Amino acid sequence: MAVSLYQITVDSHDLPRMARFWSAVLDWQVVFEHEEEIIIGAHPAALPGMCFVPVPEGKTVKNRLHIDLTPDDQDAEVRRILALGARRVDVGQGPDATFVVMADPEGNEFCVLRPKRTLLD
C-alpha cells in the first residue's frame, strides 16, 4: 500500500479539553502535547491518531466529515459518552435511524452506530 491513514486533525478552541474528551471516548492516551497541537492515540506507535490544533473561529455549519463509532452496546456507550460531555444532536436523521448522532464539547458531530463487525454490516 502506498498510503495509510495517519491521523484525523480537529480544529479546536480548547485543545486540552478536546483531547481529554476524545481520549476518554476512545480509551486512548495523549501521546504528544504542545500549545500548537495535542495528539492522541491508542499508543504512540498505533495509527491512526487524532490531532487537535488551535483555530480562532468557531464552528458554524454541520461537519462535512464525521467519525462513526461502533460499540458493543450502543445504549450503554451513548450514556457513557453523554456523561463525558457530549450531547445528542438532530441533523435530520429521522426517528427510525439505527445510529445516534452526537456532538463533542465543541459541536463536532459524530455517530454511535449499532455494533458492527465488518465494514459491510
Q: Match 497541537 to its residue by C-alpha cell.
A: 37
| Rg, the chain, Cα only | 15
The more confidently predicted of residues 20 and 57 is 20
CATH topology of domain 66-121: 2,3-Dihydroxybiphenyl 1,2-Dioxygenase; domain 1 (3.10.180)
Q: Is the pLDDT of residue 47 over 70?
A: yes
Checking if the pLDDT of 121 tops 80, the result is no
pLDDT at 30 (0 to 100)? 98
pLDDT of residue 68 exceeding 70: yes
Domain regions of the chain by residue span: 1-56, 66-121
Domains 1-56 and 66-121 equal at CATH topology level: yes
Q: CB neighbours of 85 closer than 8 A, spacing ≥ 6? A: 21, 104, 105
- pLDDT tens-digit profile of 85-118? 999 999 999 989 999 999 999 999 999 999 988 8
Q: Average pLDDT over the chain, rounded to whole?
A: 94
CATH number of 1-56: 3.10.180.10
Separation CA 116–CA 106 (nearest Å): 27
The pLDDT score that the predictor gives to residue 1 is 63
**CB of 99 closer than 8 Å to CB of 81:** no
Which pLDDT does position 48 carry in this prediction? Answer: 96
Q: Which residue has the higher pLDDT, 57 or 75?
A: 75
